[in-house]
């Protein structure tokens, strides 16, 4: 039978895991968020555990519907026709990128009291 409508998975043909896509929140319940990728009629569930890194922010009730947000593609399997999205994964990827760009192992050494314990230890040794 010939398909009359285009395949909703065509939107993901040129995407890969960890890519970012913009989605619109349709509704939320205690399981997670029902979302629709922009430019698609496909509805996907983002599980509650995949909403945020921090468990306090992982409340589906934060979203009422209609919001446009970004999410990362966590799983993409065309054979099984399965797509999983994750806001948490996007946060983790952005944090990792920020740390690699702007941080170094010595970044904490610039704080005013970072060497205070070393100075106190030296002072104790000098007293003894």
Show the 3-state SS of 17-82: CCCEEEEEEEEEECCEEEEEECCCCCCEEEEHHHCCCCCCCCCHHHCCCCCEEEEEEEEEECCCCE
Count of residues in the chain: 128
Per-residue model confidence (pLDDT) at position 116: 64
* Each residue's pLDDT tens digit, 27-67: 999 899 999 999 888 899 999 999 998 888 888 888 888 99
Tell me which residue of 92, 108, 28, 36 sits closest to 63, measured CA to CA.
Answer: 28
- Write phi, then psi, for 14 (nearest 5 degrees): -95, 10
Assign 110 a pLDDT band (cuts: 50, 70, 90). low
* Each residue's pLDDT tens digit, 65-102: 899 999 999 999 988 989 999 999 999 998 888 888 77
What class has domain 13-93?
Answer: mainly beta
Residue 67 CA to residue 48 CA, distance in Å, equals: 17
Q: 40 and 54 in contact (C-beta within 8 Å)? A: no
Assign 106 a pLDDT band (cuts: 50, 70, 90). low
Q: How many CB atoms lie within 10 A of CB 52?
A: 17
Residue 22 CA to residue 128 CA, distance in Å, equals: 64
Per-residue model confidence (pLDDT) at position 18: 93
Residue ranges of domains in the chain: 13-93
Assign 21 a pLDDT band (cuts: 50, 70, 90). very high
């Amino acid at each position: 039978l010939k398909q009359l409508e285009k395949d909703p998975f065509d939107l993901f043909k040129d995407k890969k895991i960890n890519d970012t896509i913009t989605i619109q929140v349709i509704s939320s319940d205690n399981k997670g968020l029902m979302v629709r990728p922009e430019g698609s009629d496909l509805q996907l569930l983002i599980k509650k555990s995949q909403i945020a890194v921090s468990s306090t922010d992982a409340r589906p009730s934060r979203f009422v519907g209609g919001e446009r947000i970004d999410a990362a593609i966590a799983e993409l399997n065309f054979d099984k026709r399965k797509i999983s999205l994750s806001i948490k994964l996007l946060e983790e990827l952005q944090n990792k990128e920020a740390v690699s760009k702007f941080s170094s192992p010595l970044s904490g050494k610039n704080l005013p009291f970072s060497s205070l314990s070393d100075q106190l230890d030296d002072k104790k040794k000098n007293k003894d």
